[in-house]
Amino acid sequence: MALPASINDNTGVQSGRTAPLDWRSLIREQADRYGFDVVGFTTAELSERVQADYRSFIDLGRHGDMDWLQTTFDRRRTPRALWDDVKSVIVLGMNYGPADDPLAVLANPTAGGISVYARHRDYHDVIKGKLKQLGQWIASKSGGEIKVFVDTAPVLEKPLAEQAGIGWQGKHTNLVSRTAGSWLFLGEIFTTLEIQPDRPGDDRCGSCRACLDVCPTDAFPAPYQLDARRCISYLTIEYKGHIAAEFRKPMGNRIYGCDDCLAVCPWNKFSRIANEAKLKARDDLEAPPLRDLATLDETAFRKRFRGSPIKRIGRDRFVRNVLIAAGNIQANDEGLRTEFADIAQDLLSDSSALVRAMAVWALGQLVQGEELVDRTKQSRAHELDADVQNEYRQIIP
């Protein structure tokens, strides 16, 4: 890109002979080259209202076991609290819209539903790399300092993105963009540069409540509020314990994350299809057969999900989720029912109590009566874990 004469010297100091630099246009142009679809600029403060709402979310315990949302409250509530020198925040978004209907897999109960964002290479790696390149470019041209953040950093990314005019927080609480719909990864560059902020995005949800009504676990106590403890995304990805019985059937075959609230958003029809070169979806994660996933051991799990965000939850939690999906197979086909009952029965002696507990539950869904007693007798007699014993009591009192 041809830079204006005043910044070719890399100092960022303007001579006074040239017009002030239009950082907004320069950064937008450069961000486009790195593959970002949307860019917005905002100040380093979040409103009192956002901070108070975040406080309410924590006070109501809606973060569940994600203690870090509570312990980092003071740094997370506003960018300035994280970095005192920051003057402006550049928010960037990358469209990851799926090429096909992401919910189609839900009609195929012997396959696992993996949310669209996790069908790609780990987006943290992809976006962080691009943010760093863009940030370095800004720092080198301006002489200022930058810090880049994506997802795991203590930043309230969605309210910042709304404030930067990228879109608005929809009723499902995610950021909706007029051009990318609900399929958008977010990342930020904090900078010491003073950049003219954008106007905040206007709420365009109107009277639509498609995302609220579609939620299988009723995770929205009110529009624009999520109780993470009920969200399938939280239960399958973040939650380390035994998933409560009330959520198991509604989970269906969703084994990693959940896209229902995003997928039904009418704004998606304006979404451009994800650029394959940026975020290449793995074909083998679109509808992977449950039978292959349930039998993964630690080594096979790591190999299968190398470079994927799925690897973070570890084999035991993953197989726990897969067993719930297996238990939800309504098999009229005797062969299929027996096949999955055999898989669950094998896992009754797994080394992980998380896996054993859901193997008990799955078996209890797939077979009944004498057959259930026969299939569980031996492992039940050897079971020492109180939670797993309790699962046995639920299926055979």
**Residue of 81, 86, 126, 156 that binds ligand B12 (CB under 6 A):** 156
Residue 79 has which token pair? Answer: 């960018």
Encoded one letter per residue, x for contact with ligand B12 by CB under 6 A and - for no contact, window 60-99 reads ------x--x------------------------------
Residue 370 has which token pair? Answer: 């004498």
Encoded one letter per residue, x for contact with ligand B12 by CB under 6 A and - for no contact, window 371-390 reads --------------------
Enumerate residues 250-309 that contact ligand B12 by CB under 6 A.
257-259, 261-262
Identity of the residue, 172 or 278, whose beta carbon is nearer to ligand B12 in the bound complex: 172
**Residue of 23, 36, 41, 57 that binds ligand B12 (CB under 6 A):** 57
Give dist(CA 114, CA 96) in Å, integer.
Answer: 14
Enumerate residues 112-141 that contact ligand B12 by CB under 6 A.
115, 117
Residue 124 has which token pair? Answer: 């943290």
* Residue closest to 242 by CA, chosen among 82, 369, 339, 386: 386
Give dist(CA 260, CA 263) in Å, integer.
Answer: 5
Give dist(CA 51, CA 57) in Å, integer.
Answer: 10
218 binds ligand B12 (CB under 6 A): no
Catalytic residue among 9, 84, 101, 151: 151
Please indicate whether residue 151 is annotated as part of the active site.
Answer: yes
CB of 9 to ligand B12, least distance (A): 35
| Residue recorded with tokens 């995770």 | 219
175 binds ligand B12 (CB under 6 A): yes
* Residue closest to 368 by CA, chosen among 388, 396, 393, 327: 396
The distance of Cα 157 from the centroid of its chain, to the nearest Å, equals: 13
Please, are residues 92 and 39 in contact by the beta-carbon 8 Å criterion? Answer: yes
Identity of the residue, 291 or 312, whose beta carbon is nearer to ligand B12 in the bound complex: 312
Please, are residues 234 and 321 in contact by the beta-carbon 8 Å criterion? Answer: no
Active site residues: 151
Kindly list the residues in this chain that would bind ligand B12 in the complex (CB under 6 A): 50, 53-54, 56-57, 66, 69, 115, 117, 150-151, 155-159, 169, 172-175, 184-186, 224-226, 228, 231, 233-234, 237-238, 257-259, 261-262
